[in-house]
Amino acid sequence: MFNTIIESFRIKMVEHIRMTTESERRELIAKAGYNVFRLHSDDVLIDLLTDSGTGAMSAKQWAAIMRGDESYAGSPSFYRFEAAVQELMGFPLVIPTHQGRAAERILFSTMCKPGDIVPNNTHFDTTRANVEFTGAKAVDLPCLELADLSSEFPFKGNMDVEGLKKLFEKEGRERIPLVMITVTNNSGGGQPVSMANMREVAEICHAFDRPLYLDACRIAGNAYFIKLREPGYTGKLVRDIIREMCDLADGCTMSAKKDAIVNIGGFLATRNAELAQQEQTC
Ligand SMILES: Cc1ncc(COP(=O)(O)O)c(C=O)c1O
């Protein structure tokens, strides 16, 4: 019995990539000091360094670029983009950025000061850099199952809820301007976060009156894992699960180069009008 999966799209363009031999690859990686960041991408046959900006865009996405309008202000392409984010995620205030790290830079430079602490299930490297650039400390609080390589726990991207509570109790809410959850937990092996965990984290944030932000770049993938693995979600649409995740949060940073499958792009979204005003002038 064969189960043939036919892809529901046509490939219209091909791009040449340079084939390398094993001995060439060995020489190149040795020359780069075994640091993949120092390789020239032309020498890389299969690039597993990042998932960022690696998706092929659809005919409609390319066509939308042609519909793009270069007005100095008030461009209709911005309003279409803003409406899509508002409709899907429910965050009313949307600030476009060229990619995710720019949204992080604006968020943390507006909210953090030296001596502050920002907890996250695991900070992505650009997120950590943007937190620490402000003089604040980036604290990773992954769930304990993440370190157990033999564990089959379905949501190893979860945040350590007890750890978060203890951090608030020890350091005080004044030093913690916001909490962030990265979905999926990319620096923690791309592991998903459960809705139950996000709900618990949101409750702690409410108890200490602190905002919860999502690093949302793999939110669609995370929502799909919730649909597959979390009781009560099998029959739900991924877009409804995304909305439920966002409803627990006060805002998000987004690298659209992943689940939104564009070559470049991102945004910062929030419910906080005062903050959005400061962020827009950043
Ligand atoms: C979890 C996470 N956050 C933030 C970023 C930064 O996004 P960008 O590459 O669009 O600046 C990335 C990827 O690069 C990421 O994986």
String of DSSP letters for 221-240 = HHHHHHHHHSTT-TTS-HHH
Distance CA 63, CA 59 (A): 6
The whole-number pLDDT of residue 69 equals 83
The whole-number pLDDT of residue 52 equals 85
Q: What angle do CA 154, 246, 155 make, to 5 degrees?
A: 10
CA of 5 to the centre of ligand 1 (A): 31
Model confidence at 269, in pLDDT bands (50, 70, 90)?
very high
CA of 258 to the centre of ligand 1 (A): 8
Q: Checking DSSP bridges between strand 137-140 and strand 179-182, what pairing results, if any?
A: unpaired
11-36 mean pLDDT: 94
- Point out the least confidently predicted range of 66-80, 129-143, 203-217: 66-80
Q: Is 182 in the pocket of ligand 1 (CB under 6 A)?
A: yes
CA of 169 to the centre of ligand 1 (A): 30
Q: What angle do CA 276, 262, 17 make, to 5 degrees?
A: 145
Residue 7 has pLDDT above 90, yes or no: no
Nearest CA to ligand 1 atom 14: 52
Which ligand 1 atom sits closest to the C-alpha of 255?
Answer: 10
Q: Is 257 in the pocket of ligand 1 (CB under 6 A)?
A: yes
Percent of the chain with pLDDT over 90: 80
CA of 255 to the centre of ligand 1 (A): 5
What's the pTM? 0.93
> Are the beta carbons of 58 and 50 closer than 8 angstroms?
no
Nearest CA to ligand 1 atom 4: 100
Nearest CA to ligand 1 atom 3: 124
Ranges of each domain in the chain: 8-49, 59-280
Nearest by Cα to 223 from 206, 244, 202: 244
Q: Is 127 in the pocket of ligand 1 (CB under 6 A)?
A: yes
The whole-number pLDDT of residue 2 equals 73
Q: Is 255 in the pocket of ligand 1 (CB under 6 A)?
A: yes
Which ligand 1 atom sits closest to the C-alpha of 265?
Answer: 10
Among 3.40.50.300, 3.40.30.10, 3.40.640.10, 3.90.25.10, name the CATH number for the domain at 59-280: 3.40.640.10
Residue 282 has pLDDT above 80, yes or no: no
Model confidence at 48, in pLDDT bands (50, 70, 90)?
confident
The whole-number pLDDT of residue 259 equals 92
Distance CA 169, CA 252 (A): 25
202-210 mean pLDDT: 98
The more confident residue out of 222 and 276 is: 222
Q: Exposed/middle/buried for 264, CB within 10 Å: 0-12, 13-18, 19+? A: exposed
Which ligand 1 atom sits closest to the C-alpha of 182?
Answer: 1
Model confidence at 245, in pLDDT bands (50, 70, 90)?
very high
Model confidence at 54, in pLDDT bands (50, 70, 90)?
confident
Residue 65 has pLDDT above 90, yes or no: no
Which ligand 1 atom sits closest to the C-alpha of 186?
Answer: 1
CA of 86 to the centre of ligand 1 (A): 21
